[in-house]
Amino acid sequence: MIYFDRVSKVYADDSVALEDVSFSVEPGEFISVVGHSGAGKTTLVKMLLAEEHPTSGSVFFESINIHEIPLHRINDLRRKIGTVFQDFRLLPNKTAYENIAFAMEAAGRSEEDIHSDVPHVLELVDLGDKINNFPAQLSGGEQQRVAIARAIVNQPDVIVADEPTGNLDPVNTFEIVQILKKINDLGTTIILTTHNKGVIDSLKKRVITMDRGKVIRDDREGKYIL
Amino acid sequence: MDWTTAKRIFRAGMLDFSRNAFVSVASILVMTVTLFVVGVTIFAGVILNATLDELRDKADINVYFTTMAPEERMLELKSSLEALPEVESVEYISRDEALAAFRERHKDDQLTLQALEELEDNPLSAVLNVRARDISQYEAIAAFLNKEQEALTAGEAPIIDKINFYNEQHRQALARLEVITDSAQRLGFVVIAILILTSIAISFNTLRLAIYSSRDEIQVMRLVGAGQFYIRAPFMVEGTLYGLISGIITLLLFYPLTWWLGGATQGFFGGVNIFGYYVSNFPLFFLIIAGTGMLLGATASFLAVRRYLKI
């Protein structure tokens, strides 16, 4: 489904973010990418979202080379990938409802779909009573749940969660991981980057370990080993 | 673009406008200043042109006939003047018309009117007022009339009493007027261009800053799969709205301002009452001021968003 083929990324100041990274992701997998800060986890995610271009190598999504897609067509790819970020990245001037509705509107969904799906997906992340709250009126955990609701509302093939628990306390961290597991159980592929040992060890799923831009381990049922 | 998308874009633009109230008010104020400069420029142009026209209109050649001159010969001269390519118009004022105008002018002056009644015959002579197409052409017309006068006085009783034209003083005044009108127009154009360009640059920058504050949002919109047009269009709606509201504020400000200055401009610059001009040309003003504002807002937003869409 997703294939990184010898991907390297070297920035203008000669710092190496990724070096000869190759791995593939099958449909329905739950993959955790772990590593210290600066190991290249976020660059990897940016490659998949076509936010960054590799210096060499290719990234394929369903046999399409992501970096050959023209800029004006890239949104078609991004609609197939739901994204969740450490800093939530909600639209500050839109309510929880409007943030999720925006992703549906951008995908060209009908008003009827939006009216029925948005409250439903907010119920799923247990935020049915915060539908008209702005991000500033929500806690960190609640904001992250809105972000997850936004990521899943268009039923994407993959969800990429880049350090989604980085800014959260242990209780909220546990809840977010449980939600991601539930989404995975329903068949959606999950790619999770984190450096939270507790999260990785509790998941018992595939773990790719990175260090200084390289993949140093790829374990089927891995643990946090660094 | 279908109707649903259009509705969503418009609604998003309106919502952003109201929820970013501070940025909206600041942008509107700056754009109002820009449009005010555009409006003042139009008024300045109108006053300048009217003043120059007035000055040009005052330049003419008057041919005064003798009281005995037969009308057909005066009209003959009128026709030959009209045939000249340099002549814009020739106005013939008969003795009776001259008398009527004189009475009208002195209707409150009983003494003068009584003195007129004492006279047995109309003492006023007929006049031809000759206007050239351009100030520089009066010399050629003067030369023609000089020749005509000589020909007309040869042999027969003269029909021309006097021609007020072309002495050195008159010529110098006309030449100076020509230089002034040319430089005023040129200088006016340069000042207007600088003022308008500066104001537009300030407005552009304000909208760029307003959109700069939304750059993270634009990035998020891209990452959740929104197309470039779908992100850009609400910003353009917002920019257009800034322009429209600024335009309306500017037009409202001009109403009391032109009313207050109307009398003064009429008295000082001769002829044009800017309040009357503003009211009678309001649809045109609306089109120019609000149109400029909306175009400026939409274009500035379009360009400002572009740089953040490159992901």
Tokens coding B126? 């007929």
Q: Check whether B56 has a pLDDT greater than 70.
A: no
Comparing A27-31, B87-91, B140-144, B237-241, the range with the smallest average pLDDT is: B140-144
Contact criterion met (CB < 8 Å) for B226 and A75 = yes
Tell me the domain boundaries of chain A.
2-219
Q: For residue A60, name the pLDDT band (cuts at 50, 70, 90).
A: very high
Q: How many CA atoms lie within 13 A of A70 on its CB side?
A: 3
Taking the CA of residue A147 and the nearest CA in chain B, the distance in Å comes to: 10
- Return the pLDDT at B247: 96
- A85 to chain B: nearest residue by CA? B220
Backbone region of residue B166 per phi and psi (left: phi > 0; alpha: psi in -120 to 50; beta: other values): left
CB atoms within 10 A of CB B1: 9
Residue with more model confidence, A195 or B53: A195
Span of A112-121, B57-66, B231-240, B294-303 with lowest mean pLDDT = B57-66
Give chain B's radius of gyration (CA, Å).
31
Higher pLDDT pick, B60 / A142: A142
Read off the tokens for A144: 């992250």
> What's the pLDDT tens digit per position in A146-177?
999 999 999 999 999 999 988 888 888 988 89
Residue B268 vs residue B119, higher pLDDT: B119
Task: Give A 128-187 residues with CB within 8 A of chain B.
Answer: 150, 154
Q: Which residues pair with A2 in a beta bridge?
A: A25, A61
Report the DSSP beta bridge partners of residue A209: A34, A217
Q: Which of B177-186, B195-204, B252-261 has the lowest mean pLDDT?
A: B177-186
Q: Does any CB of chain B come closer than 8 Å to the CB of residue A87?
A: no
Contact list, B16 vs chain A (CB under 8 Å): 93
For residue A88, give the chain B residue with the closest CA: B220
Nearest CB to A79; choose among B15, B225, B228: B225
The mean pLDDT of A28-48, rounded to a whole number, is 92
User: Which phi and psi (to 5°) does residue A21 adopt?
Assistant: -85, 125
Nearest alpha-carbon partner for B124 in B68, B182, B204: B68
Structure confidence at residue B153 (pLDDT):
64
> Span A2-219: which CATH code?
3.40.50.300
- At residue B149, the pLDDT reads 73
How far apart (Å, rounded) are the C-alpha atoms in residues A59 and A160?
Answer: 15
Global pTM reads 0.75
Question: Of residues B264 and A177, which shows the higher confidence score?
Answer: A177
Burial of B119 (C-beta count, 10 Å sphere; 0-12/13-18/19+): exposed
Question: Which one, of B55, B96, B95, B62, lies nearest residue B81 by Cα?
Answer: B62
- Under DSSP, the state recorded for B281 is T
Q: Which residue has the higher pLDDT, A221 or A111?
A: A111
Q: Does the pLDDT at position B58 exceed 80?
A: no
**pLDDT value of position B74:** 84
Minimal CA separation from A226 to chain B, in Å: 31
User: How far apart are alpha carbons B220 and B228 in whole angstroms?
Assistant: 12
Per cent of chain A over pLDDT 70 is: 100
Mean of per-residue pLDDT scores for chain A: 92
Among the ranges given (A103-112, A129-138, B49-58), the one the predictor scored with the smallest mean pLDDT: B49-58
ipTM for this prediction = 0.87
Spell A75-101 as b/e; 16+ CB within 10 A means b. bebbbebbbbbbebbbbebbbbbbbbb
Tell me the CA distances in angstroms from B83 to B79, B88, B128, B131, one per residue in order: 6, 10, 14, 13
What are the helix and strand counts (H, E) for chain B? 11, 4
**Best mutation target, A45, A48, A49, A91, to test chain B (most B CBs within 10 A):** A91
Q: Is A79 in contact with B16 (Cβ distance < 8 A)?
A: no
pLDDT, average across residues B126-133: 86
User: Is the per-residue pLDDT at A97 higher than 60?
Assistant: yes
* Start-to-end C-alpha separation, chain B: 23
- The A residues from 95 to 134 touching B (CB cutoff 8 Å) are 98, 102-103, 105-108, 110-111
What integer is the mean pLDDT of B207-219? Answer: 88
Task: Of B149, B113, B112, B107, give the one whose Cα is nearest residue B128.
Answer: B149
In sequence order, the β-bridge partners of residue A193 are A33, A162
Whether the predicted pLDDT of A191 surpasses 80? yes
Which helix (H) or strand (E) covers residue B120, if one does?
none
How are the residues of chain A apportioned to helix, strand and coil, as percentages rounded to the nearest 5? 40, 25, 35
At A62, which helix (H) or strand (E)? none
Q: What structural domains does chain B harbor?
A: 3-55+176-309 (no CATH), 67-158 (3.30.70)
Partners of residue A45 in chain B, C-beta under 8 Å: none
Q: Considering Cα of A187, then A188, then A193, then A194, what sign does the dihedral take? A: negative
Q: How confident is the model at residue B105 (pLDDT cuts 50, 70, 90)?
A: confident
Residue B6: pLDDT over 60:
yes
Q: Pick A78's closest partner by Cβ from B19, B224, B230.
A: B224
In a mutational test of the B interface, the residue from A75, A83, A104, A154 whose CB has the highest number of chain B CBs within 10 Å is A75
Render pLDDT for B20-45 as a digit per residue (tens, 0 to 9). Answer: 899 899 999 999 998 998 898 888 87
- B136-187 pLDDT per residue, tens: 777 788 888 878 777 766 666 777 888 876 556 666 776 777 677 778 778 8
Most confident listed range (A194-198, B14-18, B176-180)? B14-18
